[in-house]
Amino acid sequence: MKPHPVVRPSDKSTASAKYTFDGSTTRPRSPVMDLFETLPAELLVPVLRNLPDLGSLYNIARASPRVFHFLNGSLGAAILEHILDSWCGVILDHPGISTGVDEGFFDRWEASTTLWVSHILRLIALVRSCSSTNPVAENLTSFTLKYVMPTKTPIVVYPHVTLIPPSCLPTIRLQDVTGGDQALSTREMLCLIRKIVALTDECFHFFHDRIKATQPQHLIRKLSDTRYLGSSYKFDVGGEVSYYEYQHILHGFCSLQLRYELNNAVQEGRLAWSPDDIEAIRGMNKTYQAHIDYEKPEVCFSWEPLSTAAIYVASLEGVPDESSSVGDVALGRNGLRVFYDTGLRPLKGGHLKLPRPKHEDTRFTWPTTVIRQPPPSRTFLGHCYRLMFAGEGAARSPNILISRNSRYITEGLLFRPFRRLGLNIWDDDRLLRMEMVYGPSCASYIANAFTQVGNYDENLAFTWASLLSPKEKDELRAYQQMGD
Length of the chain: 484
- Stretch 45-54: mean pLDDT, rounded? 92
CA neighbor of 467 nearest in space, from 390, 415, 427 = 415
Overall average pLDDT of the 288-297 stretch: 49
Tell me, what's the pLDDT at 164? Answer: 72
Q: What is the pLDDT of residue 131?
A: 94
Lowest mean pLDDT among 6-15, 276-285, 333-342: 6-15
Return the SS3 of 298: coil
Higher pLDDT, 33 or 418: 418
The dihedral of CA 62, 194, 320, 468: what is its sign?
negative
pLDDT class for 452, splitting at 50, 70, 90? low
Phi, psi (deg, nearest 5) at residue 84: -60, -40
Residue 89: CB atoms within 10 A of its CB come to 13
Compute the CA torsion angle 443, 445, 450, 456 (nearest 10 deg).
50
Is the predicted pLDDT of residue 388 greater than 90, yes or no? Answer: no
Q: How large is the average pLDDT for residues 25-34?
A: 48
Please state the separation of Cα 361 from the chain's center in Å: 21
Contacts of 77 (CB under 8 A, 6+ apart): 173, 174, 175, 178, 179, 186
Please write the tens of the pLDDT for every residue from 206-263. Answer: 999 999 999 999 988 877 767 788 889 999 999 999 988 999 999 999 999 999 999 9
Q: pLDDT per residue over 174-203, tens digit each?
A: 999 998 888 999 999 999 999 999 999 999
